[in-house]
Each structure stands twice: as C-alpha cells, then as structure tokens.
Amino acid sequence: MKHDPVKAAVIGVGYLGRFHARKYASIPEARLLYCVDADGKRAAEVAAETGSKPATDYRSVIEEVDAVSIAVPTPRHFEVARDCLNAGCDILLEKPITETVAQAGELIELARAKNRVFMAGHLERFNPPIMKLKNTVVKPAFIEADRLGPFKERAANIDVVLDLMIHDLDIVLSFVRAPISRISAVGIPVLSDKVDIANARIEFQNGAAANLTASRVSLGEAVRKIRIFQHESYISIDYQAQKMAVFTLGQGRDDDPMSRIMIEEVKLDRQDALEQEVRSFLYSVRTRQKPPVSGEDGKLALETAIAVLDCIRRTPRPEDLD
C-alpha cells in the first residue's frame, strides 16, 4: 500500500535537532516542512540546509504536520510534547523525555487517549550491535557499562546521569526484564555544579546486577562500551566502533583453562543510528504500530535515572568522608 510522505517538523534545531532535520530531509518517506527554534537565525540556517521553512513558534506549525521530533532543552519537553499531542501530532521526544516521572506518565496517557505515536529518543537502541542482540536470547547475570568522555558546555545544565548514563540504563532495562530491588550510587561535581561523574550498581529481583559508570570529565578518547555476562558466555560491545565480540566456553586444553575461551568477532554493517531511529519512528507513524522505544520505556529509564540521582544525593561526598 502506497503512503504519502509523512509531513514533519523538527522543534529545536540546536546541536542534536539539526541532525534530526537532516535525516528527515534525506528520507523519502518524510517531507520536512518546518525547522523550529526560538533562535530565528538558527531556524533559518537549518531550514535553508534542509529545504524546509523556518519558524520560531512551534504552535504556529503543529496543525500543519503529522509528526514532530522534539529536541528542545529538557525543561521544555513536557509543555511542547503536550501541545503537539493535543494538536494530533505523533512525537519522537528526545531523552530524558521529561523532568519528572509524573510528567512522563501524563504524556503517555495523553498519547493513548489521542491515539498518537509516542516514541522516546534513546539512540543506542539503534546501534548495530544492540539491534543484532534484539533478535537473540540474552539472559544477563551481570552487565558492566562505561560511558566516558570530555566535558561539553552544552550539557553543563544537566547531571551526567540524565545526560549520559541514561543511555546505558535504558539498554540494561531493555535486557533485564525484572523489577529493581536495590540501587547504590556515588557521584560528584567536578567542572560544573551538577554531577559530572557517577557510578551506580543496580540489583534486580531475578538476581541480575549491573554496574554503570558515566563521566564527562575524562581525558583522551571517548569510551562507550558495555559487557553482558551470562551463563558460559559474555558479549562485549563497543558502541563507538560499532563492534561486537562473543566470548564462549569450548573444550580447550587441560593445562590451560584460558584456552577454553573462544572469541567470535560478529560481523556488523556500520549504520547511522540516528537515521535508523528516525526511520523507525516514521514506520510507526505510517503503520500505527507501537514504536520500538515507547513512552513507557522512556519513563522507566527516567525513573531509574532519578532513583540513581536520589541515591547519590544521600551518599556522603568525598570531602565529607573521615
């Protein structure tokens, strides 16, 4: 069945929104009508790049489009998403989807009442190794994730847990389908007045556990890796390089226990994760199927990130320790 292109707008065309706009403009299934930003000059620049029209007030355009990507600053997510849903738009809402869990719940209920697609923008779900694992049986006993990089001024107004760690929290929660039983965490500000480096241990009721570290004050090359340990195997993923290796136990030699470890480098095609995310959103818009990362998924990741931050706030800071 032939569909007309989805009429789309990107609301907020700063650092990330500009990339969203470029993807919509390059995908035949979409027709990017508007680039919206409170900064009129920036809206005009990105609109010129993408062959769309600029606007400074999203409320003036949402009646004309079917779907929107929302990439405004997090404090405005709830208001903008609510207005778009009420106008009948399907939404792709960047992470963290809202500031509070209550706001996330309200948007989920509104999307359900309006029969609108509500997709959360968790980009790592579309990284090729994660996409590959999605179709296999993964039963993690322990997960270790590291996301380390240099300081970026544009993210200085948000804690590293909500800025970076939330990516890995979402991946962990997508693989471990069990309630959380316990969280312990520590974190400190370094270059801002927000938490810049954090570590969290999350234990689940099924016995699985995860250890996550996120830092935006690390020197050298950025690190984005996750390792998933399960019975007689573990999976190592490098998000940055889009590489995956599977370590399993074989026969080996009696005099060398380590020789039992077999390594398989999994062949993957490099892909543009953001393009895959936007394509998946457009597919849900066109077919009315549930998106691969739902509003409920976004809410769970947010709720867990807030729980980690609450735990950090209750933990004595290094300067307070004896």
CA dist 164 → 18, 90, 103, 283 (Å): 20, 26, 21, 27
Pick the CATH number of 125-270+305-314 from 3.40.47.10, 3.30.360.10, 3.40.50.620, 3.40.50.300: 3.30.360.10
Averaged pLDDT score across all residues of the chain:
93
Specify the 3-state DSSP secondary structure of 251.
Answer: coil
Q: Do domains 6-116 and 125-270+305-314 have the same CATH topology?
A: no
CATH topology of domain 6-116: Rossmann fold (3.40.50)
Mean pLDDT of 269-276: 94
The end-to-end CA distance of the chain, in Å, is 69
Please check whether residue 10 is in contact with residue 89, taking contact to mean a CB–CB distance below 8 angstroms. Answer: no
Q: Which positions ≥6 away from 314 have C-beta within 8 Å? A: none
pLDDT of 3 over the 90 cut? no
Listed range (49-63, 102-116, 215-229, 254-268) with the worst mean pLDDT: 254-268
Q: Would you state the structure tokens that stand for residue 105, as one six-digit string? A: 């719940």
Listed range (12-26, 145-159, 180-194) with the worst mean pLDDT: 145-159
pLDDT of 1 over the 70 cut? no
Q: Would you state the structure tokens that stand for residue 190, as one six-digit string? A: 């370094």
Q: Residue 320's pLDDT band (boundaries 50, 70, 90)?
A: low
Please check whether residue 206 is in contact with residue 178, taking contact to mean a CB–CB distance below 8 angstroms. Answer: yes
Residue type, 50: T
Q: Residue 84's pLDDT band (boundaries 50, 70, 90)?
A: very high
- pLDDT at position 317: 65
pLDDT of 213 over the 80 cut? yes
Q: Which positions ≥6 away from 152 have C-beta within 8 Å? A: 216
- pLDDT at position 117: 98
Q: Would you state the structure tokens that stand for residue 309, as one six-digit string? A: 């931050």
Specify the 3-state DSSP secondary structure of 130.
Answer: helix
- pLDDT at position 257: 74
Tracing tokens 């590293």 back to the chain, one arrives at: 160
Q: Where are the domains of the chain?
A: 6-116, 125-270+305-314
Residue of 177, 73, 165 whose CA lies nearest to 124: 165
Q: Quickly count: other Cβ atoms within 10 Å of residue 314's Cβ.
A: 9
Q: What angle do CA 273, 274, 279 make, to 5 degrees?
A: 100
Mean pLDDT of 16-36: 97
CA dist 189 → 54, 217, 267, 314 (Å): 38, 10, 39, 15
CA distance 51 to 75: 29
Q: Note if the bond before 75 is cis, omega within 30 degrees.
A: no
Predicted confidence (pLDDT) per residue in 173-195, tens digit: 999 989 999 999 999 999 888 99
Mean pLDDT of 43-66: 98
Residue type, 45: E
